[in-house]
Structure 1
Amino acid sequence: MNAGARAVVFDLDGTLVDSVADVAAALATVLREAGIHPLSEAEVRGLMGHGAPGLLRGALRLRCCDSTEAAWMTRRFLDRYAAAPAVRSTAYPGAVEAVAALAAAGIPVGICTNKTAWTARAVLRALGFAPHVGAVVGGDSGHGMKPDPAPLLACIADLGATPEDTVYLGDHHVDIATARAAGVRVLAVPFGYGDVAMLEPDGILADYTALPGMLGLAEAG
């Protein structure tokens, strides 16, 4: 896909950052407090992509527990996770460099995630993305949560861009559905939490070194 992008928005978890270890640790604490056996990191990986409410509902479902507990456990999880969101999380190879290169080329970069915006910013700071990111819209930013297109459209507007000139990168079917609903072209990465073979994006980015070419920026670089 040669998109000729004028702005690029990224999902965070599973796209720029592998955050499963920190998410699993916070979730394990909350489950233990409720007397529930914690999930493995592999089980948590399978629940990623739906924000904290979806994570807790999924965890309770896997443990055959009462889903009415999900609301207070979600609040508890958010507190626990916000206290240590980037202890073991890592940026995917080349991701920081790719985001920095976009910003250096004058391409506005945004983050649209179902994670809370404060926690997303903390992760971005810890892993070196923050200086290159112009807008962050999280699940608590007042625009709803993906796959509702509103948060992506809000992020694009914050960047001063339009949907037609923007490319969104994600790893999950939620990201693809969000982009389609927003009228935004979308690339998928195969190293995240979704099954890329089932996503049907506009293109697949297997390596961040290939991103400039896929965005039609190779000549400009």
Structure 2
Amino acid sequence: MSPRPQTAIKAILFDKDGTLIDFQRTWSPAFSRLIETMAAGNAQTAGELARVSGFDLGQGLFDPNSPFVAGANDTVLDDWARILGVTDARGLLADMEAHLFRFGLENLAPFPTLDPTIRTLHAAGYALGIATNDTEAAARAQMEALGLSACFQHIYGYDSGHGPKPEPGMILAFSRATGLHPSEIALVGDSLHDMHAGRNAGVRRVAVTTGTVGADVLAPHADHVFGGLDDLLDWLDGMGA
């Protein structure tokens, strides 16, 4: 096992969507297919599903304020159940997540610097993890598809038993699992949910502007704001120096 890095930060916990993978390029086509599948060819139903989800069917893109951008998959479950006339909401959620699991993998679009960044951090001895409001199974499958699963010691989803962000549960679970104090952990994410979760857990909050939220929104809630993963490496290198 690699020795711990000689920096104040010993571990890095990443959000996934918008941080490691391109949110719009991955999830917009996946969500279009989900709506098409669940609406079963009914244009009015498809329009209603898109409306409550903050999704523009014409452009095939999420609105930056969509509840799906940072929220968990069940964020508009009640609305979808009402529109589809479904009484078994949990069964509906299982169907939605099964489709999203497949469609997300088929459209998986990592950021270009993801692979070298994660491999560099792993080789340097940082404990790495993922805390996502997606499902744990989807996160694990996506990292496996990208050939990076061995680099992440711990992967948590909103359904892993620690609660979704902005609750601090996933971060605190990572702290316990690594044996590190929260002050030795950096949380890297692209949303206010990430920053609020980091604040609630007492970790270093690093915002990246690779998602749908700009630096002007993130900066008041972050300790650092970077343009992408390359800047994270430069920051850690500077800390080591």
Shorter-normalised TM-score: what interval? 0.7 to 0.9
Match of 2:197 in 1: 178
How far off is 1:57 after superposition? 5.6
Q: Is the 8 Å Cα contact of residues 210 and 228 (structure 2) preserved in structure 1? A: no
In the comparison of the two structures, how many residue pairs are matched? 215
| Equivalent residue, structure 2, for 1:152 | 171
CA contact (8 A) 1:188 1:205 kept: yes
Question: For structure 2, which runs of at least 5 residues remain unmatched after alignment?
Answer: 1-6, 51-56
CA distance in 2 between counterparts of 1:113 and 1:89 reads 15
Distance 1:107 1:67, change over 3 A: farther
User: Which whole-Å CA distance do the structure 2 matches of 1:156 and 1:30 have between them?
Assistant: 40
Specify the alignment match of 1:50 in structure 2: 71
Distance in 1 (alpha carbons) for counterparts of 2:200 and 2:239: 30
**TM-score relative to the length of structure 1:** 0.84
User: What percent of counterpart residues are identical?
Assistant: 26
- What's the CA shift for 1:25? 4.0
Change (3 A) 1:30 1:155: farther
Does residue 37 (structure 1) correspond to residue 41 (structure 2)? The answer is no
C-alpha distance in structure 1 between counterparts of 2:165 and 2:41, whole Å? 28
Contact 1:190 1:206 in 2 (8 A): yes
From 136, 140, 146, give the equivalent of 1:127. Answer: 146
Closer, same or farther: CA 68–183 of 1 in aligned 2, 3 Å: farther
SS in 1 for 2:69: coil
Asked if the contact 2:131–2:157 (Cα under 8 Å) also holds between the matched residues in 1, the reply is yes
> Rg: which structure is higher?
2
Write out per-residue CA displacement over residues 184-211 of structure 1, whole angstroms, 9 at most, x where no aligned residue: 1111111213343212211112132221
Gaps of 5+ in 1: none
Structure 1 residues 68, 122: CA separation in 2 closer, same or farther (over 3 Å shift)? Answer: same
C-alpha root-mean-square deviation of aligned residues, in Å?
A: 2.7
Q: TM-score, structure 2 length as denominator?
A: 0.78
